[in-house]
Amino acid sequence: MNKRVIISGVGGQGILLASDILSDVCLKAGFDVKKSEVHGMSQRGGNVVSHVVFGEKVYSPLISEGDADVILSFEKVEALRNIDFVKKDGVMIINDLEIYPLPVSCGLADYPKNPIGEIKEHLKNVIVINGQEEAEKLGNIKVMNVILLGVLASHLDIDKDAFIQTIREKVPQKTIDLNLKAFDVGYNYKG
Amino acid sequence: MKELLSGNEAVARGAYEGGLHFAVAYPGTPSTEILENISKYKEIRSQWAVNEKTSMEIGLGASFGGAKTLIAMKHVGLNVAADPFFSIGYIGARGAIVIVTADDPGMHSSQNEQDNRNYARSAKIPMFEPTDSQETKEFVKIALGISEEYDTPVIIRITTRICHSKSIVEFNDRKEFPIKGYEKNVRKNLILPAHARILHKKAEERLIKLREYSNNFKYNTIEYNDKKIGIITSGISYQYVKEAMPNASVLKIGFSWPLPDKLIREFADNVETLYVVEENDPFMETEIKAMGINIIGKDIIPITNELNPRIVKEAFKTVEPFAPLDIKEKAPIRPPALCPGCPHTSVFRAINKLKLIATGDIGCYTLGALPPLSAMDTCVDMGASIGNAFGIEISQPKSDARKIVAVIGDSTFYHSGITGLIDVIYNKGKITLIILDNSITAMTGHQDNPGTGKTLMGEDTVKMDLKKLVEGLGIKHVYEINSYELEGVEELIKRETNRDEPSVIIARNPCVLLPEIRKKPKDKYRVDPDKCTGCQLCVKLGCPAISFDKSTKKASISEQYCVGCTLCVQSCKFDAINKIEGSL
Ligand SMILES: Cc1ncc(C[n+]2csc(CCOP(=O)(O)OP(=O)(O)O)c2C)c(N)n1
């Protein structure tokens, strides 16, 4: 069976880089893989979504409503926005972070009080992690994405070594150890 | 070697392997990365043109000279290039001509979802529609071959989900071809009516041969399965069909103009009920119905928006209609916005305050139309702001005439603003044109343009002097202003819109996302809550770094996002916004 993963968040958060790493990992692990995303308007602070599908033979790069096995959202409201895409028995991994959209920051709309609570009412498997806090503990806020990727990795049937090898190739030489440590924090996270 | 490539990267790889000599384009989502990736291959000369029409003409010229040429554009770009495009349909191709059109079903970043397959039919030009990156690469190579073999330009039609999806591609080596060289041939290259009558006949004859080619094309394939349902499909829709209807028989069309008539009849004869699944227009459906074949298409497949596997399943009633959860309605919209410190901001704040009629154009600055700036009345197509403003001026009764400005970006002005401005001067218009010069083509991801002094391949070149250019057209009142002077910008716009002559304001500062600007150390600012009166003047700038707390009635600035442009400092009447000392 193919696995379908959605990564969502806000422009500038590194969503596309994370999904690039994931799809490279899938390729390394010997799967057929496709990934789909939209460039353009979305990058000016709009929401960003990337789809990754892998398995023996993948046709559609695009994931339909109700078909995602795992959603990793880098931001809370973006998790809520994409709730329709996750399967009933699927997993949602949510970074406990609020980024206000412009209509909220200029007082034209409200940020929902408890998006995670709302999601939990509809979905059994919700994992919440405070990525910034975990990254700060490692002394570098920039590794938040790798921590989140680690959490995602622990919910996919892919050899962990494929992740480690890809991270080694993708990050600057000096930061390899830090990034591998960050990945482990996510991988071993029990939310 | 195997790699994950996007459709756009695959076009570039195919061009490289197929021995391309020259590539030209004007950027436009979702096509932009095609040229950006071709430019990495030093064997191919590649360049940005000022618009799609000049791209097409330069490309044709290169083909006259015997070079294998690729011209890429987004779907609406082909409207701009339509004039030479139709001529090329008659002239043909001495050096190969591959025209890539990147359509945008779903309008992820476009103003319409026109289906450019219709252009292939009306211009009598053959067309390929790949279903993934591997096919995209192969089809570009094949297209380079048949273009010269059949003496025809060839269209590769891809869509956002091909352009921006990655799938696995196998690499091959490049084949080198010599450039054939120029040869005078007026009967072919000079399309007077007398020549064109003959060329039109040839074009029709060529299509008959190409229909045979299509019938034998190895990527037009029948995959028989359960024969109760037979589905004809092409492009990305093929992938949706295979996922949604794994048991159906499928005729995959990789070469969709001219359509493979024999193959379609064979398939129709062998299945019980025939369907066509295609995004947007009933392009194949209309043709197949005209062949006298019963086929179901748009009766069950939506004509608007892009498709996905679920829509296909619902159309064939293999699943219940999807019931969306209403909790997602609680997620506030997250529209794209001008960046913190965007140099376009001050102009829109002034337009809003002065209550001007503002005709707009296409670029990052179109975001000035969104609240709270709400400073744009129209957006039609690239370059339209100037003609639109002039037309409004003409139609306004003198008695209650409101002041009008046209707002355009630098790249858009070079693309197609200059001609509109000549119209204004020639016909005694009085509008004020504001050129937002951020020294880059920002919206599509920072491409160089004639104002940047760099070419696509990274060479230094002449840097257009915008002020001299505009003065040269005959505009007497041309003013350059630092766009971070909030009051100065407003005063200048006020003065010039009151003038009884046409004028041009060039509002300048580089895009804040440019790497050299990003790298600079920046002051950070914060709101002093004791001094903040909650007047929200700063909030009206629409800066994503500024937020307003409704309960405390105080504004605040996100230190993370602030780039120190000081527009909010200048807007505050209470000195409540101050530099964070040592923040540099
Ligand atoms: C005919 C056509 N070609 C290309 C595009 C894609 N496109 C949209 S905006 C834009 C460039 C805008 O650049 P500029 O005018 O400099 O404004 P900026 O985004 O830098 O503010 C392009 C190329 C389009 N919409 N229409």
Could A44 and B364 be called an inter-chain contact, meaning their C-beta atoms sit closer than 8 Å? yes
Pick from B59, B190, B56, B211: nearest CA to B121: B211
Distance B451 CA to ligand 1 centre (A): 14
Pick from B205, B113, B96, B216: nearest CA to B156: B96
Within this chain, do residues B453 and B566 fall inside the same structural domain, yes or no? no
How far apart CA B543 and CA B125 sit, in angstroms, is 48
pLDDT tens digits, one per residue of B106-120 = 999 999 999 999 999
On whether the CB atoms of residues A54 and A32 are closer than 8 A, the answer is yes
| ipTM confidence | 0.96
Beta-carbon contacts of B218 under 8 Å, excluding residues fewer than 6 positions away, are: none
Is A150 within a domain? yes
Distance B507 CA to ligand 1 centre (A): 17
- Indicate the pLDDT class of residue B401, thresholds 50, 70 and 90: confident
| Closest B-chain CA to A116 | B327
Query: How far, CA to CA in Å, does B361 sit from each of B72, B328, B539, B540?
Result: 22, 33, 24, 22
Scanning B64-93 for CB atoms below 8 A from A yields none
Helix (H) or strand (E) holding A93: strand A86-95
How far apart CA A48 and CA A9 sit, in angstroms, is 5
**Closest ligand 1 atom number to CA of residue B449:** 16
Q: Which residues of B touch A112 (CB under 8 A)?
A: 330-332
Confidence at residue B560, expressed as pLDDT on a 0 to 100 scale: 87
Within this chain, do residues B400 and B512 fall inside the same structural domain, yes or no? yes
Mean pLDDT of chain B: 97
Within this chain, do residues B43 and B138 fall inside the same structural domain, yes or no? yes
Could B328 and A83 be called an inter-chain contact, meaning their C-beta atoms sit closer than 8 Å? yes
Query: How far, CA to CA in Å, does B537 sit from each of B540, B547, B574?
Result: 5, 12, 10
Is B320 within a domain? no
Q: Is A103 within 8 Å of chain B by CB?
A: yes
Q: Which residues of A touch B158 (CB under 8 A)?
A: none
Is A86 within a domain? yes
Is A108 within a domain? no
Is B551 within a domain? yes
Within this chain, do residues B488 and B572 fall inside the same structural domain, yes or no? no
- Residue B308: strand, helix, or coil: coil
**Closest ligand 1 atom number to CA of residue B344:** 21
Q: Is B339 within 8 Å of chain A by CB?
A: yes
Could A35 and B166 be called an inter-chain contact, meaning their C-beta atoms sit closer than 8 Å? yes
In degrees, rounded to 5, the angle at the alpha carbon of residue B201 between the alpha carbons of residues B195 and B207 is 130
Could A38 and B4 be called an inter-chain contact, meaning their C-beta atoms sit closer than 8 Å? no
Could A66 and B164 be called an inter-chain contact, meaning their C-beta atoms sit closer than 8 Å? no
* CATH assignment of the domain containing A7: 3.40.920.10
Within this chain, do residues B240 and B212 fall inside the same structural domain, yes or no? no
Within this chain, do residues B100 and B26 fall inside the same structural domain, yes or no? yes
Cβ pairs bridging A and B (under 8 Å): 178
Is A72 within a domain? yes
Q: Which residues of A touch B313 (CB under 8 A)?
A: 64
Confidence at residue A43, expressed as pLDDT on a 0 to 100 scale: 63
The first and second tokens of residue B374, run together, are 């709400």
Confidence at residue B428, expressed as pLDDT on a 0 to 100 scale: 96
Percent of chain B with pLDDT over 90: 97
DSSP B235-301: HHHHHHHHHH-TTEEEEEESEEES--HHHHHHHHHHSSEEEEE-SSS-HHHHHHHHTT---B-TTTS
Q: Pairing mode, if any, of strands A68-73 and A3-10?
A: parallel
Specify the amino acid at residue B477: H
Helix (H) or strand (E) holding B407: strand B404-409
Q: Which residues of B touch A67 (CB under 8 A)?
A: 309-310
Within this chain, do residues B547 and B462 fall inside the same structural domain, yes or no? no
| Closest A-chain CA to B326 | A84
Q: Is B158 within 8 Å of chain A by CB?
A: no
- Indicate the pLDDT class of residue B583, thresholds 50, 70 and 90: low
- Residue A87: strand, helix, or coil: strand
- Conformational region of residue B468, where left means phi above 0, alpha means psi within -120 to 50, and beta covers everything else: alpha
Q: Is A39 within 8 Å of chain B by CB?
A: yes
Is A11 within a domain? yes
Identity of the residue in A24, A39, A104 whose CB atom sits nearest the CB atom of B29: A39
Is B138 within a domain? yes
Helix (H) or strand (E) holding A34: strand A32-37
Could A82 and B547 be called an inter-chain contact, meaning their C-beta atoms sit closer than 8 Å? no
Distance B417 CA to ligand 1 centre (A): 12
Q: Which residues of A touch B2 (CB under 8 A)?
A: 27
Could B310 and A65 be called an inter-chain contact, meaning their C-beta atoms sit closer than 8 Å? yes
Max CA separation in chain B (angstroms): 82
On whether the CB atoms of residues A94 and A104 are closer than 8 A, the answer is no
pLDDT tens digits, one per residue of B315-362 = 999 999 999 999 999 999 999 899 999 999 999 999 999 999 999 999
Is A105 within a domain? no
Distance A14 CA to ligand 1 centre (A): 24
Q: What value does the mean pLDDT take over residues B406-415?
A: 98
Helix residue ranges, H only, B74-192:
77-80, 82-91, 117-123, 133-149, 160-163, 186-189
Find the domain containing B475 and state its range. 345-518
**Domains contained in chain A, number:** 1
Distance B144 CA to ligand 1 centre (A): 29
B584 pLDDT more than 70:
no
| Closest B-chain CA to A31 | B168
Q: Is B330 within 8 Å of chain A by CB?
A: yes
Is B387 within a domain? yes
On whether the CB atoms of residues A26 and A54 are closer than 8 A, the answer is yes
B399 pLDDT more than 80:
no
B283 pLDDT more than 80:
yes
How far apart CA B415 and CA B195 sit, in angstroms, is 31
On whether the CB atoms of residues B368 and B407 are closer than 8 A, the answer is yes
- Indicate the pLDDT class of residue B581, thresholds 50, 70 and 90: confident
Last residue of a domain, one of B188, B216, B244: B216
Identity of the residue in B239, B337, B546 whose CB atom sits nearest the CB atom of A61: B239
Q: Which residues of B touch A44 (CB under 8 A)?
A: 336-339, 364, 367
How far apart CA B288 and CA B296 sit, in angstroms, is 10
How far apart CA A22 and CA A35 sit, in angstroms, is 9
Q: Which residues of A touch B372 (CB under 8 A)?
A: 106, 108
Identity of the residue in B108, B308, B328 whose CB atom sits nearest the CB atom of A64: B308
Confidence at residue A41, expressed as pLDDT on a 0 to 100 scale: 58
- Indicate the pLDDT class of residue B151, thresholds 50, 70 and 90: very high
Is A51 within a domain? yes
Q: Provide Rg for chain B, Cα atoms.
A: 27
How far apart CA B213 and CA B259 sit, in angstroms, is 10
**Closest ligand 1 atom number to CA of residue B79:** 1
Scanning B23-62 for CB atoms below 8 A from A yields 29-30, 32-33
Is B584 within a domain? no
**Ligand 1 test: best mutation among B54, B364, B382, B413, most atoms within 8 Å of CB?**
B382
Is B267 within a domain? yes
* CATH assignment of the domain containing B130: 3.40.50.970
Q: Is B416 within 8 Å of chain A by CB?
A: no
Is B337 within a domain? no
pLDDT tens digits, one per residue of B452-493 = 999 999 999 999 999 999 999 999 999 999 999 999 999 999
Within this chain, do residues B301 and B247 fall inside the same structural domain, yes or no? yes
Cα–chain-centroid distance for residue B79?
Answer: 11
Find the domain containing A143 and state its range. 3-98+114-187
How far apart CA B163 and CA B104 sit, in angstroms, is 10
Q: Is B371 within 8 Å of chain A by CB?
A: yes
Kindly report the nearest CA distance between residue A32 and chain B, in angstroms: 7
**Ligand 1 test: best mutation among B362, B452, B509, most atoms within 8 Å of CB?**
B362
Walking along chain A (191 residues) 10 residues at a time, the average pLDDT comes out as 96 90 96 88 80 98 98 97 96 96 90 96 97 96 95 96 95 95 96 77
Pick from B335, B2, B292: nearest CA to B171: B2
Q: Pairing mode, if any, of strands B154-159 and B97-103?
A: parallel
Q: Which residue ranges have their beta carbon within 6 Å of ligand 1?
A: B 26-28, 52, 74, 76-77, 80, 362-365, 382, 409-412, 436, 438, 440-444
The verdict on pTM exceeding 0.80 is yes
Q: Is A132 within 8 Å of chain B by CB?
A: no
**How many residues are there in chain B?**
584
Interface probe with B: pick from A50, A62, A121, most Cβ of B within 10 Å: A62
**Domains contained in chain B, number:** 4
Within this chain, do residues B209 and B352 fall inside the same structural domain, yes or no? no
Q: Which residues of A touch B108 (CB under 8 A)?
A: 38, 40-42
Is B325 within a domain? no
* CATH assignment of the domain containing B311: 3.40.50.920
Within this chain, do residues B228 and B206 fall inside the same structural domain, yes or no? no
Within this chain, do residues B383 and B475 fall inside the same structural domain, yes or no? yes
Q: Which residues of A touch B132 (CB under 8 A)?
A: 34
Specify the amino acid at residue B111: Q
Within this chain, do residues B423 and B569 fall inside the same structural domain, yes or no? no
Count Cβ atoms below 10 Å from residue B293 Cβ, excluding itself.
17
Is A126 within a domain? yes
How far apart CA B164 and CA B159 sit, in angstroms, is 9
Q: Pairing mode, if any, of strands B127-128 and B255-257?
A: antiparallel
Scanning B114-143 for CB atoms below 8 A from A yields 132
Confidence at residue A191, expressed as pLDDT on a 0 to 100 scale: 77
Q: What value does the mean pLDDT take over residues B28-40?
A: 97
